[in-house]
Structure 1
């Protein structure tokens, strides 16, 4: 018997009802990912009502029509009042029904999808899937029992770990821990029907006792979670779970839902949801037009960045040929990687077999001709225009005509680099961030003549490396460094006007940046930016206000952490920055030399000026067509430059500000700094 469930007021309902072997099967079909929506929830309510009233049905199975059971909630619903019926209402109907309900899980069962499964009387999963409660990563906590029902299956300590980490668990692990009843490899539908027929009555998790736990362990896990990320959602999750461990169930569930509603309406959750959709938009827009196979990749330059790029590819399973103009440099880089893996094996962070597999994919070449059969070559040599042009000319003589030539430059003009070769269509930028094997973003720069084929190979590489691809046009610094340079310059100008490095860094880290600009500069080395400034001195606009304290530091050999002194002083063997009277004296001398009267800055003054500068540069980038969309800028800054994710990126921050406030601050900024 097959019966279509429909509600006229909602149109087509993405839930169908069939009966097989006295089991009513409710199939959820809401492509592309089977997200929970108001229509899905309404369809489930109707289907459950039909199944409960059907005398030919003894049990009920919920199953997804596509790859996923229910991949999570439709986040678009969270921007306003969540439409009825809400998920707790659906689960309450399941629990109140007389017939047992089984959730048949496949693919990704996350967030509200997993809460729906936990609200059922049994859970069976197809091997290879994952489950999890990732709401914490979106600035919220689970709101339909996700902090409460697991307490009855895995106890308070493990529930704390699961919820506060937002981690995805393979269904096999979830089965071992007791969150899933059975994992199968055959037909999920058939196995679920068989499982449902074998159930003897209801098993409502809400009514089960909390698993016992060692109070000391619970406190340790809770403290560790708050130390790792003391954001509002983490605090709320810990509070809800601890309440659920001791309070009556009704009170604990009500508290959880109230906290969920409070948090989803906060600015942090809005920001994190914005970044979620930004990632989705970037991945959708930046798909390769045609999938390209990467059988092997070449890397030229075995320094820190080149070796890191090589490591990124071998850890993604792609063979790499690493070469350097100094023949022993590639072998030395391979040896350093071997030692790094040895340390990871010793610490239990990598298996010996995985280490050997990674190393087997790395070939230390001795000549540029070793790159002849590679599918993509990435140049990662010294940041010098003529050096890079010379390397690309050499590469063109040995590589097959269709193989892209990517330059890992962070500032240089891709069009000028491409002009050095006969086929500029094969040249593009691939700006890796440090450390290259861990950084989450890859800035791909399109030259004026870059071909679609070359771009496709770079996008394929980003996908293989699991890095977020952000496309950029050609300008000085592209997207990320162009904004960061404007930000850093403004921070240096504030020093001339009365601020000190430690004050600026403290204000911006308090706002949420991973590090302040002067601590970052010390870490990366002041000499790198100094060399670039000297190279551009001849083309600098004489009307531009130029902060010169960084130059003065470099002239004294204060190049940052590696020298023991930079914007800060560092004790031998330490990376802890200490304010330095020498630096303060240099700053005051610069103010006096330029006849600038120093004045006090508040933390809010510093943050506002820095952010308005970034916002202005972001607007110019969009106007110049360097970035494709505002959300790409937000991804670039949060993934690559330590901009706080809870603020959603600079364009999201701008969207929350009063326009008159921004106009006033921009006018004031122009008057101060031009």
Structure 2
């Protein structure tokens, strides 16, 4: 037997152990070895029962992602066929589950007669997270062994359950407190002694008598908002419905049909693209992954405002002590109070205990003195977005922070290299751009300066993992990746208002496309004043276009800053938003001043001008090396800007519709929009080259 499966006979019991570290992925060789070991046990007359377990820290993490999209993924024995074969065993088959049994690993376990697990084991079917449904019997066997409600919740969410919950549901037959393998072997002896029956799911009917009328319809409604745009959750529900209505053989056929439909969908391609993109994002060109990170045991945050407080909470939640620095006692105490209030709100909702709140607050302390930061390993500046303010802060940090401390800025647009120049140690300076609210949003742009040391980059990646962020390493330019791509997207939204589209139409087109929020609603939420101040810092770069976000500038001049003042592009009454005719009048006034002819604008034009220019900017960013690969742009926009995950990000969306479609539309608007088109609708060289070579962005990784 090869090393991917171990086989040992203990008298009447054959023990088969998966041995494919680190997660016992069910690649073709492992499936083949498992089948061979299983056949050996069946053919040995001395063997009366079989125990299936693992040599590692977990039972099985499911399919091998390296086989995704290849023929070998379905080479005999395929996982569905192997599960069917195990279920048909003529000898009792007991699975010993330690660590985790997820995806195909759980489907293997479901195919066995009995299940024994450690108390800390987790069981789940996460296929929905890559746009699929379980395809090896999970949707049919789980409802038969557990219950319909638990099954549909597990399969549509992709989240694991504890062994205790699985035991209560009847999915696990016994929890082993000590010695899993010994417990499983003893369980097998008991099965033989008691002549317990072989349990095939074909002989088990799904229990539906306790289900309320309309259960599936109500369940669909309960997850509709969260799963909008995704295909797989609906197909998961249909598969469980089939389990309730069909015998196992027919149910498995229905599962296979639904699985294949998911497999061929754009949503599955998008989600699998993101699955791999997140892993690739941690691979930084020219940085050896074996580089030792610096030690980070203490963190300091400069600025106790909304952003600084949110950043601090990330580290506190990870158990890392934080020192919060402010210039004035009043601002410091206000910031600490907001952090405490946030935790107390979580406690009121049952997410934390009162003890948890106090434990977390014990990890944060405040100061007004830079000298108190002398022993910190990482300092993150979250002060006002002004280069002069950054100069003042980093000059102080350079004076007081110890040698080897990492000095980071949370700037969203400013030049990290210039900020680094304010210190005598540019190797230690890096950008850590958190997204608001910082204690909620997953994205962390790690901005690598020209002189940033490799071990600082590696440390930032490690820190991101500790505080449960999704990191993307980016280069230095205005706005880095996220905000630089936002610029043309937002520019077109503002310009379209001047040309005759109303804000509700623009936002509606883009939310219908799948964006979490329309661009103009986003500006109202973030603050029209914030957008204005960013534009003020770069007037030279946009001065050639007199119309550039001019309606935003005029709203700022009128004191209409968005939700915070009750008026922006819309009128706000509490959380309710209403269209404002005055904005259309203002747009008409500006259009007349600039000689812009207002007209009826189609939804298609709105979508193409906003989204295609977003893609075009992403292509420029990859061409310039600001992003290492196109998928990094996707990770940024999925996790930081509400781009629909079921489309895979802007660059994956371009691949799905064809880069030539994007190029053709940009060329069309370059001609049709006159001088404005000449100014802004310049196709990226990378986009043109991609189309010329008949490639996709995903094939181009700089």
Q: In the aligned structure 2, how far is the partner of 1:110 from the partner of 1:269?
A: 19
Distance 1:313 1:96, change over 3 A: same
Q: In the aligned structure 2, how far is the partner of 1:611 from the partner of 1:227?
A: 23
Please say which of residues 19-28 and 535-544 is displaced more in the overlay.
535-544
Q: Deviations over 1:27-60 (max 9, x none)?
A: 2233342222233222222222221111121111
Matching residue of 1:575: 575
SS in 2 for 1:317: coil
Matching residue of 1:59: 49
Match of 2:404 among 383, 402, 413: 402
What is the deviation of 1:396?
1.7
What is the deviation of 1:645?
0.5
- Judge conservation of contact 1:145–1:256 (CA < 8 Å) in 2: yes
Distance 1:603 1:75, change over 3 A: farther
SS in 2 for 1:578: strand
Q: Deviations over 1:325-372 (max 9, x none)?
A: 112222222122222222322222211121111111111223222222
Q: In the aligned structure 1, how far is the partner of 2:226 from the partner of 2:547?
A: 41
Matching residue of 1:210: 206
Match of 1:329 among 328, 331, 338: 331
| Within-5 A mapping of 1:536-575 | 536-540=538-542, 542=544, 546-571=548-573, 574-575=574-575
SS in 1 for 2:351: coil
Structure 1, unmatched stretches of 5+, are: 6-12
Q: Does 1:183 align with 2:175?
A: yes
What is the deviation of 1:185?
4.9
Q: In the aligned structure 2, how far is the partner of 1:492 from the partner of 1:88?
A: 53
Distance 1:483 1:188, change over 3 A: same
SS in 2 for 1:63: strand
Matching residue of 2:686: none
What is the deviation of 1:538?
3.6
Q: In the aligned structure 2, how far is the partner of 1:206 from the partner of 1:228?
A: 34
Q: Does 1:111 align with 2:97?
A: no
What is the deviation of 1:640?
0.8
Q: Does 1:452 align with 2:454?
A: yes
Q: In the aligned structure 2, how far is the partner of 1:621 from the partner of 1:162?
A: 39
Matching residue of 2:683: none
Matching residue of 2:600: 600
Matching residue of 1:8: none
- Judge conservation of contact 1:52–1:99 (CA < 8 Å) in 2: yes
- Judge conservation of contact 1:444–1:471 (CA < 8 Å) in 2: yes
SS in 2 for 1:609: helix
- Judge conservation of contact 1:100–1:196 (CA < 8 Å) in 2: yes
Distance 1:452 1:77, change over 3 A: closer
Matching residue of 1:428: 430
Matching residue of 2:693: none
Matching residue of 1:233: 232
What is the deviation of 1:216?
4.5
Please say which of residues 412-421 and 59-68 is displaced more in the overlay.
59-68
| Within-5 A mapping of 1:404-419 | 404-419=406-421
Q: In the aligned structure 2, how far is the partner of 1:19 from the partner of 1:228?
A: 49
Q: In the aligned structure 1, how far is the partner of 2:660 from the partner of 2:453?
A: 43
What is the deviation of 1:543?
6.0
Structure 2, unmatched stretches of 5+, are: 680-702
Please say which of residues 91-100 and 402-411 is displaced more in the overlay.
91-100
Q: In the aligned structure 2, how far is the partner of 1:609 from the partner of 1:34?
A: 47
Q: In the aligned structure 2, how far is the partner of 1:604 from the partner of 1:32?
A: 48
- Judge conservation of contact 2:472–2:636 (CA < 8 Å) in 1: yes
Q: In the aligned structure 2, how far is the partner of 1:365 from the partner of 1:206?
A: 67
- Judge conservation of contact 1:58–1:197 (CA < 8 Å) in 2: no
Q: Does 1:43 align with 2:45?
A: no
Q: Does 1:20 align with 2:19?
A: no
Matching residue of 2:662: 662
Distance 1:206 1:363, change over 3 A: farther
Matching residue of 1:531: 533
| Within-5 A mapping of 1:142-153 | 142-153=134-145
Please say which of residues 77-86 and 398-407 is displaced more in the overlay.
77-86
- Judge conservation of contact 1:24–1:60 (CA < 8 Å) in 2: yes
What is the deviation of 1:108?
2.7
SS in 2 for 1:400: coil
Q: In the aligned structure 2, how far is the partner of 1:190 from the partner of 1:666?
A: 67
Matching residue of 1:629: 629
What is the deviation of 1:105?
1.8
Match of 1:74 among 64, 84, 87: 64
Q: In the aligned structure 2, how far is the partner of 1:274 from the partner of 1:570?
A: 39
Q: In the aligned structure 1, how far is the partner of 2:340 from the partner of 2:117?
A: 39
What is the deviation of 1:397?
1.6
- Judge conservation of contact 1:226–1:234 (CA < 8 Å) in 2: no
- Judge conservation of contact 2:542–2:548 (CA < 8 Å) in 1: no
SS in 2 for 1:322: strand
Q: In the aligned structure 2, how far is the partner of 1:450 from the partner of 1:393?
A: 17
What is the deviation of 1:497?
2.5
Matching residue of 1:478: 480
Matching residue of 2:684: none
Please say which of residues 550-559 and 163-172 is displaced more in the overlay.
163-172
Q: In the aligned structure 1, how far is the partner of 2:148 from the partner of 2:633?
A: 40
What is the deviation of 1:127?
3.9
What is the deviation of 1:545?
6.0
- Judge conservation of contact 1:638–1:648 (CA < 8 Å) in 2: yes
Matching residue of 1:616: 616
- Judge conservation of contact 1:378–1:406 (CA < 8 Å) in 2: yes
Please say which of residues 525-534 and 455-464 is displaced more in the overlay.
455-464
Q: In the aligned structure 1, how far is the partner of 2:299 from the partner of 2:42?
A: 59
Please say which of residues 467-476 and 123-132 is displaced more in the overlay.
123-132
Q: Deviations over 1:290-318 (max 9, x none)?
A: 14332211001000000111111111111
Q: In the aligned structure 2, how far is the partner of 1:100 from the partner of 1:601?
A: 68
Q: In the aligned structure 2, how far is the partner of 1:272 from the partner of 1:197?
A: 44
Matching residue of 2:264: 265
Q: In the aligned structure 1, how far is the partner of 2:173 from the partner of 2:278?
A: 34
Distance 1:124 1:292, change over 3 A: farther
What is the deviation of 1:182?
2.5
What is the deviation of 1:222?
4.2
